[in-house]
Chains A and B, each alone.
Chain A
Amino acid sequence: MKRSMLLVLVLFIATAFAFQQKQQPAGLKAAIARGKTVYENACLACHQPDGSGVPNMNPPLIKTKWVLGDKKALTKIVLKGLQGGEIEIDGDKYHNPMPPQESVLNDQEIADVLTYVRNSFGNKASMVTAAEVKALRAKLK
C-alpha cells in the first residue's frame, strides 16, 4: 500500500510538471529569442550581459521588484525613461538616466525584450505582449 501511494504521488507530480510545461504561453521561447537580440542592441551596454548593471549607475535587472513586479510600471520605464536617481535597490541609488525607448523600439520589440529580461538572469515572470505595450503607449500619449 505504502509503495503504491508513493508511486501515485510521483505520477501526480510528474503530470503536474508536464502540465506546467504545456502551460507555457505559446511563443514564449520565440519571444525570448527575439528579445535577446533587442537586449544586445539596446540594453546590454548599460545593464551588462548578465543583467547585473553597474553599481551606483545602472540598476541590476536580477530579481528586483522593478523587473518582476507590475508589468505596466516596467513597460512605462522603457517607453518614457527615467531622469536617474529614482531607482533604489537595497538602499543604493542608481544615478544614470534611463533613455526613453518610445522612439527607438516598436511595441513588439519592447514586448520581446521585457519578456526576455523577465525570463533571464535567474528571473521567471509572465510574458509581456505587444498588445499590452501598444495599449500603454496609447494611454501615455
Chain B
Amino acid sequence: MKKMLILACTALIAATAFGNDTTKRKTPPAGTVQKDEDAPAITLPQGFKSVVVTSGLGKARHLTVAANGDVFVKLEKLKDGKGIIRLHDSNGDGKADETSGFGNYVGTGITIKNGYLYASSNDDVYRYKIDEKSGKVDIASEQKIVTGLVNKNQHNSKSLALDNNGNIYVNIGAPSNCCQVQDRVKGSPGQDPCPILEKAGGIWQFKADKTNQGYEDGVRYATGLRNVVGLDWNTEVNDLYVMQHGRDMLYQFYPELFSQKEGAENPAEELFRVKKGADCGWPYCYWDIDKQQQLQNPEYGGDRKKADRCTDKTKSIVQFPGHLAPNALLFYTGDQFPAKYKNGAFIAFHGSWNRAPEPQAGFFVVFVPFKNGMPDGKWEVFADGFSGFQQGGSTGKAKYRPCGLAQGPDGSLYVSDDNNGTIWKVSYGK
C-alpha cells in the first residue's frame, strides 16, 4: 500500500509539473542552415533550366561572377569565420566543387570592376585585387575605400554599383519607415524636413580607387530613397537604376484611408532611373497603386488625393505591388538568352511580410523588357517556386528567398537565396 501511495504521489507531481510554464525551447532553432543538395528545381520559362551551384551558405546576399566563371558571394552571417565565399566549378557542370572564403565581416554588396573585387560591410566598402582569368583574389591587397556610413540596424545593407568612369555608387538606406518623430509608432507625425536625408535615404557616389573616403569625400547622388538593396549601372544608356523598398504600415496606421487589401498592395515598390541630383520623394511621397500617382504620405498630411509637394519629384518608371521587397536589380547584357532579354532588367524579390494578414507575395525573380533604357512592355515572372508554398504561407516559412543576381561570362544568370544560402545558375537551351 505504501508503495502504491508513493507511486501515486509521484504521478501527481509529474502531472502538476507538466502544467507549469515551459521556459525551455523544444523546437529546433529557427534559421538553422541545412545543407540541401536536393533543392527542388525552380520554375522557369520554356527553354530555360537551372542547376544548384551550391547550398547551405546561410545568409547569401549579393553575388558576382568573375570572367573565369568563379562565383563570389557576400554573406550577412559569417560562415566558418568568412564573409565572402568563392565558388569554383572545375569540371564545367555548373556545380561548385571548390569552396573557399575570406573577409571577416558581414554585409550585402559585392561586384567586380576593372580588376578589383568590391565588397561592403554594413558600414564600409572594401576592395581587393582580382585576377579574373584565374579567379584568384589577392586578399592582402584589401583596401577600405569608404568608411563610417550610417548603420542603425534597420535598412543597413550597403549595395554597390560602378559606372565606367571610376565611380562607385553606394546605397545608404534610411534607418526609418517614414521619418516619423517616433519610428513606426502609430500617430507619430513625420519630421519636416526629414533630418535622416542628410546622411541616409539615398545613393552616394564615391571614387572607386581612393581609400578611406567618408561623407565629406562623397556626393549625395540621389536622395528621397527609403531603402535600395537592388541597384545597377546600365551600360547601354549610362545611367543608374535603383529599386526602392516602399514604406510599411499604411493600413495599420491609416485604416481610414487604406483597407486591409489596399494596405497590402500599397505603396508600390518602384524602379527609378536616377540622374545626378534626383529626389525620389521619400519620406514625403509614395506611389499609390490604385491612383497610379505619386502622392503625399499621410504622415505629411496626405489624404490619397494630394500630390502637392510631390509634383516636382522624380517619378518611377515601373511600379510593382507593395512590400515584395526588391533585393537585386540586373540589366542583362549577355547573348545566351533569347533576344527579348537583351538589355532588359531582372529583379529579385525577397518576398513580403507587411501584407499580413493578406497572403504574402513575392519570393520570385521578374523580368522587365527594356528599349533604349526605358521599359518596353509589362513585367513578367521569370523564376518562381522559391518559397515552397503556393499562397498563404508566412514569411518565416519560406524555404528560399531570392536576394542576389549576377550574370556569368557565358550569359547565364545566377540567383542567390539568403535563407538557406542556395545559389542557382540559370541557362537557356543546350
Using a CB–CB distance below 8 Å, which chain A residues touch chain B?
5, 8-9, 12-13, 15-17, 19-20, 23, 40-42, 44-46, 48-50, 52-58, 60, 62-65, 68-69, 81, 83-85, 89-93, 95-97, 99-100, 103-104, 122-126
Residues of B within 8 A of A9 (CB): 4, 7-8, 11
| A to B CB contacts below 8 Å, 10 in the list | A19-B16, A45-B248, A45-B356, A46-B354, A48-B394, A52-B30, A52-B397, A65-B23, A99-B183, A125-B22
Residues of A within 8 A of B249 (CB): 45
Known A20-B16, A45-B249, A55-B396; judge A84-B154 contact (CB<8 A): yes
- Closest chain-B Cβ to A123's Cβ sits at a distance in Å of 7
Residues of B within 8 A of A55 (CB): 30-31, 395-396, 401, 419
Residues of B within 8 A of A12 (CB): 8-9, 11-12
Q: Which listed residue, A41, A57, A89, touches B29 by the CB 8 Å rule?
A: A89
Do B27 and A49 have beta carbons less than 8 Å apart?
no
Taken together as a complex, chains A and B put the C-alpha atoms of A55 and B240 apart, in Å, by 30
Residues of B within 8 A of A93 (CB): 153
Q: Does B74 contact A (CB under 8 A)?
A: no
The interface size bin for chain B is 35 or more
- Closest chain-B Cβ to A115's Cβ sits at a distance in Å of 13
Known A49-B356, A49-B357, A84-B152; judge A60-B30 contact (CB<8 A): yes
Taken together as a complex, chains A and B put the C-alpha atoms of A123 and B22 apart, in Å, by 7
**Chain B 10-29 against A: per-residue CB contact (8 Å), 1 yes, 0 no?**
01100110110111011101
Do B22 and A8 have beta carbons less than 8 Å apart?
no
Q: Which residue of B lies closest to A64 (CB)?
A: B25
Taken together as a complex, chains A and B put the C-alpha atoms of A136 and B184 apart, in Å, by 23
Residues of B within 8 A of A45 (CB): 248-249, 252, 354, 356
Q: Which listed residue, B32, B357, B395, touches A90 by the CB 8 Å rule?
A: B32
Q: Which listed residue, B26, B185, B419, touches A104 by the CB 8 Å rule?
A: B185
New A-B contacts (14) at CB < 8 Å, excluding given A12-B8, A52-B30, A58-B353:
A5-B7, A15-B12, A16-B16, A20-B19, A48-B396, A49-B356, A50-B394, A56-B76, A62-B30, A95-B154, A100-B182, A103-B185, A124-B21, A125-B23
Q: Which residue of B lies closest to A103 (CB)?
A: B185
Taken together as a complex, chains A and B put the C-alpha atoms of A17 and B14 apart, in Å, by 10
Residues of A within 8 A of B32 (CB): 90
**Would you call the interface of chain B mostly helix, strand, loop, or mixed?**
loop
Q: Which residue of A lies closest to B155 (CB)?
A: A95
Taken together as a complex, chains A and B put the C-alpha atoms of A20 and B12 apart, in Å, by 10
Q: Which residue of A lies closest to B8 (CB)?
A: A12
Residues of B within 8 A of A44 (CB): 356-357
Q: Does B305 contact A (CB under 8 A)?
A: no
Q: Give the number of A-B contacts (CB < 8 Å).
A: 134
Taken together as a complex, chains A and B put the C-alpha atoms of A139 and B147 apart, in Å, by 41
Q: Which residue of B lies closest to A15 (CB)?
A: B12
- Closest chain-A Cβ to B327's Cβ sits at a distance in Å of 12
Do B182 and A99 have beta carbons less than 8 Å apart?
yes
**Chain B 397-409 against A: per-residue CB contact (8 Å), 1 yes, 0 no?**
1000100000000
Using a CB–CB distance below 8 Å, which chain B residues touch chain A?
4, 7-9, 11-12, 15-16, 18-19, 21-23, 25-27, 29-32, 59, 76-77, 152-156, 175, 182-187, 248-249, 252, 353-354, 356-357, 394-397, 401, 419
Do A16 and B396 have beta carbons less than 8 Å apart?
no
Q: Which of B27, B31, B154, B353 has the most CB atoms of chain A within a 10 A radius of its CB?
A: B353
Residues of A within 8 A of B154 (CB): 84, 95-97
Q: Which residue of A lies closest to B255 (CB)?
A: A41
Do B15 and A83 have beta carbons less than 8 Å apart?
no
Q: Which residue of B lies closest to A54 (CB)?
A: B353
Nearest first, the 8 A-B pairs at minimum CB distance are A90-B29, A16-B15, A84-B153, A52-B396, A85-B153, A99-B184, A95-B153, A54-B353
Do A54 and B153 have beta carbons less than 8 Å apart?
no
Known A12-B8, A90-B30; judge A97-B76 contact (CB<8 A): no
Residues of B within 8 A of A52 (CB): 30, 394-397
Do B21 and A100 have beta carbons less than 8 Å apart?
no
Known A8-B8, A44-B357, A48-B394; judge A63-B25 contact (CB<8 A): yes
Taken together as a complex, chains A and B put the C-alpha atoms of A134 and B26 apart, in Å, by 32
